[in-house]
Structure 1
């Protein structure tokens, strides 16, 4: 019963960390902005305003925290590129296609980072959550292999997102595509971040028992 209670509390904690104020600000509000303008045949304006909102969220977080992690930085850069391309081309589809290109580039970056001493996920998690790990523990083979497994998982996630977005873009309306795309990325990302924090602890424990 105690184990079941702990699992329930953990699941509730994960859900609270996903469906919180940040989810509303970063996923729901941009969709509302885009959908409202798209309904009145002002799709380009909706794209520009929702894009500015997303970039503003990243900038405000940076101002509040005085730091920004690698994933947030890359997301902000790609949003800015997509927005600039949309304004120059005056084509809202440019902004909607940008996340697909972003996903493929993320996947490439994650897999390429496997050839370096520290993979990208190792750098990100160490930067934000594991600042007090001893050097002795860092040198253990299982320490590094955990991050390589997770880096592969992140690469696969981005490939799946890219494929899903490509299918949706050519099969449903722009508003539906944008809503599903934003919701999917804002749910899958935090879930994988939670997994990236919990998996190494479990993985390292199995190593010590063997």
Structure 2
């Protein structure tokens, strides 16, 4: 009988969502945005919070010497949004960047299904499943489970892009930015936890 897949450490969904990284990457940018907005303009607030988010990814890379795929993609789009915002002097450019990111990431996810290792499988194994036995990785159901999970992530990204569009068009910039930032901080660890649970369930049924 195969050994069950276990994360390297006991996985707690709550602890892995509301942790130090959540405060640094989600709460602090909101505080920077809020303070800067009161002192100057929303544009300055968005630019400063965007710089903070990029700096966090860069510092984490130099500290850990590893590349986090999801964080790197977020930093790249943050940079694009930041440059576009500075050039256009319009907050809308920066706020629309996550929507473009969601659609593009969904496309990348779908394409990765045709590779030997779907992106979500790589991310999960990099962060939480380092000890998966080779015999389980060679199991066709293991690869199939991550294909299903990756397709689900793509669908979720398309859905959240649609929701972002609705919020951006019908609510204030402050409401949109707050919801978008907090959701991003919570959703990724939650989705990864659900992915690991589903993969373990799929292999045993």
TM-score of the aligned structures, taking structure 1 as reference length: 0.87
Deviation sequence 1:161-186 (CA, Å, 0-9, x none): 10111000011111111000111111
User: What does residue range 1-210 of structure 1 map to in structure 2 within 5 Å?
Assistant: 13-40=12-39, 42-206=41-205
| 1:165/1:177 contact within 8 Å kept | yes
What SS does the corresponding residue of 2:170 show, helix, strand or coil? coil
| 1:38/1:175 contact within 8 Å kept | no
What SS does the corresponding residue of 1:115 show, helix, strand or coil? coil
Deviation above 6 Å: which 4+ runs of structure 1? none
| 1:18/1:190 contact within 8 Å kept | yes
| 1:86/1:92 contact within 8 Å kept | yes
**Structure 1 residue 155, shift from structure 2 partner:** 0.6
**Bigger relative contact order (CA 8 A; separation at least 6):** 2
What SS does the corresponding residue of 1:31 show, helix, strand or coil? helix
Identify unmatched segments of 5+ residues in structure 1. 1-9
**Structure 1 residue 73, shift from structure 2 partner:** 1.1
Quick one: distance in 2 between partners of 1:102 and 1:192? 17
Task: Give the length in aligned residue pairs.
Answer: 196
**Structure 1 residue 193, shift from structure 2 partner:** 1.0
CA-atom RMSD in angstroms: 1.7
Deviation sequence 1:51-91 (CA, Å, 0-9, x none): 00110111111111111221111111111111111111111
**Structure 1 residue 41, shift from structure 2 partner:** 5.0
Q: Which residue of 2 aligns with 1:6?
A: none
Identify unmatched segments of 5+ residues in structure 2. 1-9
Q: Once structures 1 and 2 are overlaid, which stretch shifts more, 102-111 or 62-71?
A: 62-71
What SS does the corresponding residue of 1:45 show, helix, strand or coil? helix
Quick one: distance in 1 between partners of 2:117 and 2:21? 29
What SS does the corresponding residue of 1:130 show, helix, strand or coil? coil
Quick one: distance in 2 between partners of 1:196 and 1:60? 27
| 1:38/1:46 contact within 8 Å kept | yes
Higher helix share: 1
| 1:110/1:152 contact within 8 Å kept | yes
**Structure 1 residue 125, shift from structure 2 partner:** 2.0
Quick one: distance in 2 between partners of 1:137 and 1:190? 23
